[in-house]
Amino acid sequence: MSDPHDYQQTPTSNPGDEQTPTSGTTSDQQTPTSAAAGQTPSEGAISPDAGGMGNGLTHFNAAGEAHMVDVGDKAITHRAAVAGGRISMLPATFEMVCAGTHKKGDVLGIARVAGIMAAKRTSELVPLCHPIGLTRVDVAFRTEAADSSVHCEVRAETRSQTGVEMEALIGLQVALATIYDMCKAVDRGMCMTDIRLLEKSGGKSGDYRAL
Protein backbone atom coordinates (compact mmCIF):
# COMPACT_ATOMS: atom_id res chain seq x y z
CA MET A 1 0.00 0.00 0.00
CA SER A 2 1.05 3.54 -0.61
CA ASP A 3 2.11 5.59 2.37
CA PRO A 4 -0.76 8.01 3.30
CA HIS A 5 1.83 10.70 3.98
CA ASP A 6 2.60 10.83 0.25
CA TYR A 7 -0.66 12.70 -0.33
CA GLN A 8 -1.18 14.45 2.98
CA GLN A 9 -1.93 18.17 2.63
CA THR A 10 -0.79 20.80 5.12
CA PRO A 11 -3.48 21.97 7.59
CA THR A 12 -3.60 25.43 5.98
CA SER A 13 -4.51 24.10 2.52
CA ASN A 14 -7.99 24.80 1.25
CA PRO A 15 -9.97 21.81 0.09
CA GLY A 16 -9.99 23.23 -3.43
CA ASP A 17 -6.20 23.34 -3.48
CA GLU A 18 -5.74 19.63 -2.89
CA GLN A 19 -4.08 17.75 -5.72
CA THR A 20 -5.42 14.56 -7.19
CA PRO A 21 -3.19 11.79 -5.80
CA THR A 22 -0.73 10.78 -8.53
CA SER A 23 2.54 9.04 -7.76
CA GLY A 24 5.75 10.97 -8.43
CA THR A 25 4.16 14.45 -8.43
CA THR A 26 5.04 17.30 -6.09
CA SER A 27 2.82 20.02 -4.72
CA ASP A 28 4.47 22.73 -6.88
CA GLN A 29 3.85 20.94 -10.17
CA GLN A 30 1.04 22.42 -12.25
CA THR A 31 -1.53 20.74 -14.43
CA PRO A 32 -0.73 21.80 -18.03
CA THR A 33 -2.70 25.00 -18.57
CA SER A 34 -0.35 27.02 -20.79
CA ALA A 35 -1.35 28.08 -24.28
CA ALA A 36 1.23 25.72 -25.72
CA ALA A 37 -0.15 22.76 -23.80
CA GLY A 38 -3.68 23.61 -24.88
CA GLN A 39 -2.78 23.76 -28.54
CA THR A 40 -3.79 21.07 -30.94
CA PRO A 41 -0.91 19.27 -32.74
CA SER A 42 -1.44 21.42 -35.81
CA GLU A 43 -1.25 24.63 -33.74
CA GLY A 44 1.92 23.57 -31.93
CA ALA A 45 3.72 22.27 -35.03
CA ILE A 46 6.17 24.35 -37.04
CA SER A 47 4.38 25.73 -40.05
CA PRO A 48 5.87 25.71 -43.57
CA ASP A 49 6.33 29.48 -43.26
CA ALA A 50 8.63 29.12 -40.24
CA GLY A 51 12.27 29.78 -41.05
CA GLY A 52 11.39 31.83 -44.10
CA MET A 53 9.56 29.32 -46.30
CA GLY A 54 6.87 31.25 -48.11
CA ASN A 55 8.61 34.44 -47.04
CA GLY A 56 11.16 35.01 -49.78
CA LEU A 57 12.75 31.56 -50.16
CA THR A 58 11.41 30.86 -53.62
CA HIS A 59 12.91 27.37 -53.92
CA PHE A 60 10.32 26.04 -51.42
CA ASN A 61 6.64 25.63 -52.21
CA ALA A 62 3.76 26.18 -49.78
CA ALA A 63 4.28 22.71 -48.31
CA GLY A 64 7.96 23.40 -47.61
CA GLU A 65 9.12 21.11 -50.42
CA ALA A 66 12.01 21.98 -52.74
CA HIS A 67 11.02 22.82 -56.30
CA MET A 68 12.37 24.62 -59.36
CA VAL A 69 10.87 28.10 -59.61
CA ASP A 70 8.50 28.64 -62.54
CA VAL A 71 9.97 31.48 -64.61
CA GLY A 72 7.75 30.91 -67.63
CA ASP A 73 5.87 34.19 -67.25
CA LYS A 74 8.96 36.33 -66.73
CA ALA A 75 10.20 38.65 -69.45
CA ILE A 76 13.38 37.81 -71.34
CA THR A 77 15.83 40.57 -70.41
CA HIS A 78 19.56 41.20 -70.22
CA ARG A 79 20.96 40.05 -66.89
CA ALA A 80 24.51 40.19 -65.54
CA ALA A 81 26.36 39.22 -62.37
CA VAL A 82 29.90 39.56 -61.05
CA ALA A 83 31.37 37.36 -58.32
CA GLY A 84 34.75 37.85 -56.66
CA GLY A 85 37.15 36.08 -54.33
CA ARG A 86 40.82 35.33 -53.78
CA ILE A 87 43.30 32.59 -52.97
CA SER A 88 46.32 33.28 -50.77
CA MET A 89 49.52 31.23 -50.88
CA LEU A 90 53.19 31.13 -49.90
CA PRO A 91 55.42 33.76 -51.51
CA ALA A 92 57.37 31.08 -53.41
CA THR A 93 54.15 29.64 -54.81
CA PHE A 94 52.95 33.11 -55.75
CA GLU A 95 56.17 33.81 -57.66
CA MET A 96 55.83 30.52 -59.53
CA VAL A 97 52.25 31.33 -60.54
CA CYS A 98 53.13 34.84 -61.71
CA ALA A 99 56.20 33.72 -63.64
CA GLY A 100 54.37 30.85 -65.32
CA THR A 101 57.17 28.44 -64.37
CA HIS A 102 54.97 25.79 -62.78
CA LYS A 103 55.76 22.38 -64.23
CA LYS A 104 52.07 21.80 -64.97
CA GLY A 105 51.94 24.84 -67.20
CA ASP A 106 50.13 28.20 -67.18
CA VAL A 107 48.23 28.08 -63.88
CA LEU A 108 46.08 31.15 -64.45
CA GLY A 109 45.38 30.30 -68.08
CA ILE A 110 44.07 26.86 -67.18
CA ALA A 111 42.11 28.25 -64.23
CA ARG A 112 40.47 30.78 -66.56
CA VAL A 113 39.24 28.05 -68.90
CA ALA A 114 38.06 25.94 -65.94
CA GLY A 115 36.00 28.87 -64.61
CA ILE A 116 34.32 29.39 -67.98
CA MET A 117 33.52 25.69 -68.33
CA ALA A 118 32.08 25.54 -64.80
CA ALA A 119 29.85 28.57 -65.35
CA LYS A 120 28.33 26.88 -68.39
CA ARG A 121 27.51 23.74 -66.37
CA THR A 122 26.09 25.38 -63.26
CA SER A 123 22.64 23.82 -63.63
CA GLU A 124 24.26 20.36 -63.51
CA LEU A 125 26.01 21.17 -60.23
CA VAL A 126 23.37 23.20 -58.33
CA PRO A 127 20.13 21.16 -58.32
CA LEU A 128 17.48 23.89 -58.59
CA CYS A 129 19.27 26.21 -61.04
CA HIS A 130 17.69 26.64 -64.46
CA PRO A 131 19.79 25.72 -67.49
CA ILE A 132 20.26 29.01 -69.32
CA GLY A 133 22.09 30.20 -72.40
CA LEU A 134 25.04 32.36 -71.38
CA THR A 135 25.99 35.17 -73.75
CA ARG A 136 29.23 36.00 -71.95
CA VAL A 137 31.57 34.62 -69.30
CA ASP A 138 34.72 36.55 -68.44
CA VAL A 139 37.29 35.39 -65.87
CA ALA A 140 39.83 37.98 -64.75
CA PHE A 141 42.76 37.59 -62.34
CA ARG A 142 44.71 40.21 -60.40
CA THR A 143 47.88 39.31 -58.50
CA GLU A 144 48.74 41.01 -55.20
CA ALA A 145 52.38 40.66 -54.17
CA ALA A 146 51.77 42.33 -50.78
CA ASP A 147 49.91 39.31 -49.44
CA SER A 148 50.89 36.68 -52.05
CA SER A 149 47.34 36.27 -53.29
CA VAL A 150 45.50 36.00 -56.58
CA HIS A 151 42.18 37.81 -56.83
CA CYS A 152 39.58 36.54 -59.26
CA GLU A 153 36.42 38.09 -60.69
CA VAL A 154 33.95 36.26 -62.91
CA ARG A 155 31.33 38.11 -64.93
CA ALA A 156 28.43 36.21 -66.47
CA GLU A 157 25.73 37.59 -68.76
CA THR A 158 22.61 36.27 -70.43
CA ARG A 159 19.37 37.24 -72.11
CA SER A 160 16.99 35.07 -70.17
CA GLN A 161 14.10 34.85 -67.71
CA THR A 162 16.33 34.27 -64.69
CA GLY A 163 19.57 35.68 -63.30
CA VAL A 164 23.17 34.52 -63.55
CA GLU A 165 24.42 35.00 -59.99
CA MET A 166 25.02 31.28 -59.52
CA GLU A 167 26.88 30.99 -62.83
CA ALA A 168 29.27 33.74 -61.73
CA LEU A 169 29.75 32.19 -58.28
CA ILE A 170 30.33 28.65 -59.55
CA GLY A 171 32.74 29.87 -62.21
CA LEU A 172 34.67 31.81 -59.57
CA GLN A 173 34.98 28.93 -57.14
CA VAL A 174 36.07 26.43 -59.75
CA ALA A 175 38.67 28.87 -61.09
CA LEU A 176 40.14 29.27 -57.60
CA ALA A 177 39.93 25.54 -56.93
CA THR A 178 41.86 24.91 -60.15
CA ILE A 179 44.67 27.15 -58.93
CA TYR A 180 44.73 25.13 -55.73
CA ASP A 181 44.75 21.85 -57.63
CA MET A 182 47.66 22.87 -59.82
CA CYS A 183 49.77 24.15 -56.91
CA LYS A 184 48.85 21.82 -54.05
CA ALA A 185 51.97 19.70 -54.55
CA VAL A 186 54.12 22.60 -53.34
CA ASP A 187 51.65 24.46 -51.10
CA ARG A 188 48.77 22.64 -49.41
CA GLY A 189 48.07 25.59 -47.11
CA MET A 190 46.56 27.83 -49.79
CA CYS A 191 43.33 29.46 -48.62
CA MET A 192 40.30 30.60 -50.65
CA THR A 193 38.44 33.51 -49.02
CA ASP A 194 36.15 36.50 -49.61
CA ILE A 195 33.97 34.60 -52.09
CA ARG A 196 30.80 36.61 -52.69
CA LEU A 197 28.49 38.23 -55.21
CA LEU A 198 29.84 41.68 -56.03
CA GLU A 199 27.04 42.94 -58.24
CA LYS A 200 24.06 41.95 -60.33
CA SER A 201 21.78 43.75 -62.73
CA GLY A 202 18.52 43.05 -64.52
CA GLY A 203 15.44 41.15 -63.49
CA LYS A 204 12.47 41.96 -61.28
CA SER A 205 14.57 42.29 -58.10
CA GLY A 206 16.59 45.14 -59.63
CA ASP A 207 20.27 45.91 -59.30
CA TYR A 208 22.60 44.97 -56.45
CA ARG A 209 26.10 46.07 -55.55
CA ALA A 210 28.07 44.80 -52.55
CA LEU A 211 29.25 47.41 -50.06
User: Which contiguous run of DSSP H or E holds residue 79?
Assistant: strand 77-88
**Per-residue confidence (pLDDT) for residue 207, from 0 to 100:** 92
Domain chopping of the chain, boundaries: 77-201
Q: Do 142 and 172 form a contact (C-beta atoms < 8 A)? A: no
Across the chain, which has 211 residues, the per-10-residue mean pLDDT values are: 45 47 45 40 37 53 64 80 98 94 85 98 89 95 98 96 94 98 96 98 89 88
The domain made up of 77-201 has a fold known as: Alpha-Beta Plaits (3.30.70)
Where does residue 156 rank: exposed (0-12), middle (13-18), buried (19+ CB within 10 A)? buried
Handedness of CA 160, 161, 165, 166 (dihedral sign): negative
Where in the sequence numbering do the catalytic residues fall? Answer: 181
